[in-house]
Amino acid sequence: MAPTAATSLKGPQACQIQNYACHCLGLKSYFQQPGDGRTQPHISAADIVWAMVMSRILRVTSFLRLEWLVHSPARTGLGVKAPFGDDTSAYCTERMDPETTRLALAQALHQAKRNKAFENTRFIGLAVDGTGAGRTYKEPCPLCDPIKDARGEVHGSLHHFVLISVVGVGLTLPVDVEPYGPDDSEYAAAQRLLRRTVKHLGPRFADYVVGDGAYATAPFLHTTEELGLPVVARLKENLPLLAAAVRARFDGQPPHAVFQERDDRIEVWDADDFDPWETLHWPAVRALRYRQHKPNGTVVQAEWITNFSIAKLGSLSFYRMAKSRWEIENSGFNDGKNRYGMEHICHHESNSILIVWR
């Protein structure tokens, strides 16, 4: 697919993308200085990073194929000044400072907000979720997590990371990633990631944080509170007492409200006086159950918790926030893996993996 895409991509298109990225997204100074850590580079990091961005758009997902691309006649059309080899991509990404890319993306998001890209949205969300990608059978790097079968035999290893993404605004905008190795955990990585994102975006950029059941833990919920962000998290059986209390209350009751949301009929149960579990410092827990009836007869039911008050957040908005979590799954991981080569490790070195994921 890539060769046809590369040759059919005409110069002006690449220029237009570059113009858009530099001027509309405000990434010009980032592309000029993307955080190169090499001392005597022959090829500018600006060229390498731009070539990588274009290669992702063209779905060229390995450094070797990128080398082929920048040695082909398509190079000038892509806006890449000089050819370079896969070893240059590897050497450069090993030494790039990820913080430069993070700051540039945060700036681009601020620019989008100033340009009123989110103006039709009442609540801007930040979704967090973890995944594993880049299975390899090579000599492990510090991020490699061995994949064991039932007998404990190792079959290669996987790289885990947490992604944070802007959701609930009509388009999903991934912001940052935090890897976690075998001695670390998803929710510890998520706390580091959330703190860093709020530091970069500022405390008033987003209105809520949303995550699945893995994030319904007291330390994670306390972190969101400390950062001044209300949180919406899936309630699952990892909180058996609360899950049972919610069932006991809602099971026998008719829905508290019914909404029509596009083609779906949504029944909701919503109450804000459940007891927190013993480690959670909330005065009370608000829980929502929704039962979504799709036109084809499928019924989806789930329970969610929040520390938003009913006065600040109605049941329908609570439902929408819960649903916004799926954006990170669909537009974040699925697109990242299927379209942008997140599944493939270009160069098996921890900083290079991080830079390429971003």
Q: Name which position in 69, 141, 216, 239 contacts Zn ion (CB under 5 A).
A: 141
**How near is the Cβ of 136 to Zn ion at its closest, in Å?**
6
**How near is the Cβ of 347 to Zn ion at its closest, in Å?**
10
Q: Which of residues 143-202 bind Zn ion (CB under 5 A)?
A: 143-144
**What's at 200, amino acid-wise?**
H
Q: Which is nearer to Zn ion, 214 or 353 (CB)?
A: 353
Q: Which of residues 224-263 bind Zn ion (CB under 5 A)?
A: none
**Assigned token pair, 307:** 């520390």
Distance CA 197, CA 176 (A): 7
Q: How many residues make contact with Zn ion (CB under 5 A)?
A: 3
Q: Which is nearer to Zn ion, 145 or 329 (CB)?
A: 145
Contact between 133 and Zn ion by CB under 5 A: the answer reads no
**What's at 43, amino acid-wise?**
I
**How near is the Cβ of 186 to Zn ion at its closest, in Å?**
17
**How near is the Cβ of 345 to Zn ion at its closest, in Å?**
7
Q: Which of residues 191-230 bind Zn ion (CB under 5 A)?
A: none
Q: Which is nearer to Zn ion, 144 or 285 (CB)?
A: 144
**Residue 86 · residue 63 · CB < 8 Å:** yes
Distance CA 18, CA 179 (A): 29
Q: Which segment (5-13, 139-147, 240-248, 297-305) binds Zn ion by CB under 5 A?
A: 139-147
Q: Which segment (135-143, 235-243, 264-272, 290-298) binds Zn ion by CB under 5 A?
A: 135-143
Residue window 103-122: x/- pattern of binding to Zn ion, with contact defined by CB under 5 A: --------------------
**How near is the Cβ of 40 to Zn ion at its closest, in Å?**
28
Which residues, at least 6 apart from 132, have a Cβ–Cβ distance to it below 8 Å?
145, 158, 159, 160
Beta partners for residue 232, in sequence order: 210, 306
Instruction: Give the footprint of Zn ion on this chain (CB under 5 A).
Output: 141, 143-144
